[in-house]
Amino acid sequence: MSNNNQIKMKIYSKIRDLWNKGAFHILIGDFITKFITFFGAIFLVRVLSKEEYGLLAYIENLYGYIYMLAGLGMHNSILRFLIISRDNGKQVSYYKYIVKRTFIINVLLVIFSILIFLFYKHPIEFIGAKYLLLVFMLILPFQYLYDISLLTIRAKLQIKKYSFTVIIVSLLIVTSKYLSSLYLGLNGMIIFSIFLYILISFVLTRLIRHDFGKESTVVNINKTEKKEINKYSIQFLLTNSIFALLMLNDIFMMGLFINSPTLIADYKIAFTLPANISLISTSIGIFITPYFVINENNKDWIKSTYIKLIGILIILSGLIGMVLFIFSSELLSFIFGSEYESSSNIMRVLVISAFINSVFRYTTANILNSLGHVKVSLFASIIGIVFQVLLNILLIPSYGPIGTAYTSVAVYSLMSIILVVYFMKIYFVKNR
């Protein structure tokens, strides 16, 4: 057999292996999900007025602050501890412990947050969102159950089922948002979303328990194991929460310094397209993360796989980014309407920010977290949040939304440097 044929056979074998493991199902599933969500956002913009869309962005942003604390981060433990444990009974015990504990936590969190927002003094331009926000908070426990369900499916390496579930649920959510907004308005859309999340969480929870099997022997979790789960969860919570603040602070601080629903709508629309740069990195991350956990003691495998991932992401994400950067004005006008064409300069800056974030920051942090190096991600996030607040205070009053975009580029660059340098120190430098 010639060298060319051998190379072709190796490539074919590799592609077939990736297909059987579900890598392409993840990519296709994530693409379809992003596609559905993206066009759902377009339909929503067309149905709601610019002011209503700005109010919705404000509500979702404040909800995001509370959702950072949901379940005290225990859903993240699903992906690590279910993979580490190969015993089905042990997995069932971990799952039940996390579901029961987090549901109680989330109910208390909803009550607490409703009391806070009831007395919170909203900016006058957003006072109409006050009671809608209180109703919106009821989604939290059921959205969290949905997240737990997805992570459980991933932890069991049921990649095809994961992709199918994400596509179906995304389609249901987007369709319901559009139809309820069209016929019931913003108020009706929020109320309908609550019932939909209740239905989705109930169905998925039942399916997962059935998948574990009624005859599984439940193994009790001792205090040491519970302590380990709780410790890992809190560390992950702090890391994710601080990173989530980076995403949420932009809109919140614009609300403080600008007080304009229309400018907030401009910024959110400007970020809608750049957000799709993360399509490749999140898809690969969903597929590959469990394998990093499985190979956490094999430094050579981790090093070589990381280099390949970064190389692939630079090429693929770079191509998407260039298209969005060059044709930003035309894309905004064609997709969202001429009233959003003025956001093209903001979008170009956000394209650079999204590229740095998805290729370097997200990928490195995701791998480090899966390998148990949560503290360095926490450190990078704390540095990033301090840097972000200072820059936003300086830039937003003078430059508006584009000042926020410049801040994002600087912050994600700094965080990426911290994470990549740490990763290289651990996995690239050989111990003497």
CB 276 within 8 A of CB 355: no
* Nearest C-alpha neighbor of 25 from the set 158, 175, 168, 147: 158
pLDDT at res. 35? 55
pLDDT at res. 7? 43
Mean pLDDT in consecutive groups of 10 residues from the start of the chain, 432 residues: 49 49 54 57 69 78 83 79 73 84 91 86 72 87 89 78 82 83 82 90 87 65 78 74 70 74 77 79 72 79 88 90 90 79 87 92 86 82 88 86 90 94 85 48
Query: Which residues, 6+ apart, have CB-to-CB distance to 84 below 8 Å?
Result: 293
pLDDT at res. 298? 84
pLDDT at res. 431? 53
Cα torsion through 104, 106, 111, 113, rounded to 10: 150
Distance between CA atoms of 189 and 212, rounded to whole angstroms? Answer: 35
This prediction's pTM? 0.63
For the chain, the 3-state helix, strand and coil shares in percent, each to the nearest 5, are: 90, 0, 10
Burial of 85-97, coded b for 16+ CB within 10 Å and e otherwise, reads beebbbbbbbbeb
